[in-house]
A and B are shown apart, each in its own frame.
Chain A
């Protein structure tokens, strides 16, 4: 009898795991305002998303880094009027990638057109400007930007690292 219950529990657990990993679309949405303090909410939702999507520590860190770079850039430069604005972020798990969509108003700026940083100068001449966007573009598998009806949309795919 006890073995039968254990087997049933195991079957349910196995079924849920298979559904979660292979069929159920893992999606998390969040809306933040253009304030650096709001980035703490992003760290928390990345933690929840990574847990649900069974991401490795490496992928989770990469996701945190990419979001920190992009959102801080948006908060610093997209809203010169300093008025409160919304930034919507959607996290989705695909088969081999973690996908992120960021929607926000503010000024038009395609990060792919940002000036390239100088990566070869001596230490004393080295500058940091432009490095954040450069890191994001190098680390993502796919990076798209579009602007429609005064809304900027960034869509990116990050390859999921395997254990």
Chain B
């Protein structure tokens, strides 16, 4: 997987590319550690270019959520495809994550 990061108006947007499986979840977790270490409070995880997320990747999504809730920030997940949405639904993640269709919509949630 690849991750592109943009920070604008105090909001960190991570564009996730490829797939998050057992092998690539490590890259995602390293990015989490970097962001958690920096103390970023407002984060968008954009899934527009992501094909799927396995349970190894869900673990990192959950790490983001727990950490950002703890520091009083907000996490948004955007542009999930059908498979990723289905995996979130099956995993009982939909009620605990903030989800929106686009980055623009997500940014409004931070206002």
Contact = CB atoms under 8 A, between A and B. Distances in A.
Contacts, number: 76
A119 B59 CA distance: 13
A68 B57 CA distance: 11
A122 interface: yes
A124 B69 contact: yes
B18 to A, nearest CB: 10
Interface string A56-99: 01101110110011001000000000000000000000000000
Nearest to B55: A132
A64 B58 contact: no
A134 B91 contact: yes
A128 B87 CA distance: 13
Interface residues of B, number: 26
B99 interface: no
B83 A58 contact: yes
A40 interface: yes
A128 B55 contact: yes
A97 B21 CA distance: 23
Contact of A65 (B54, B62, B69, B96): B54
Nearest to B89: A138
A93 B8 CA distance: 47
Interface in B68-99: 69-70, 81-83, 86-87, 90-92, 96
B51 A119 contact: no
B36 to A, nearest CB: 15
A123 B96 contact: yes
Interface of B: 19, 21-23, 51-56, 58-59, 62, 65-66, 69-70, 81-83, 86-87, 90-92, 96
8 contacts: A61-B81, A65-B54, A69-B55, A72-B21, A123-B96, A128-B58, A132-B55, A135-B91
Given A61-B83, A131-B58, 8 more contacts: A61-B81, A62-B83, A68-B56, A72-B56, A123-B62, A128-B58, A135-B91, A139-B90
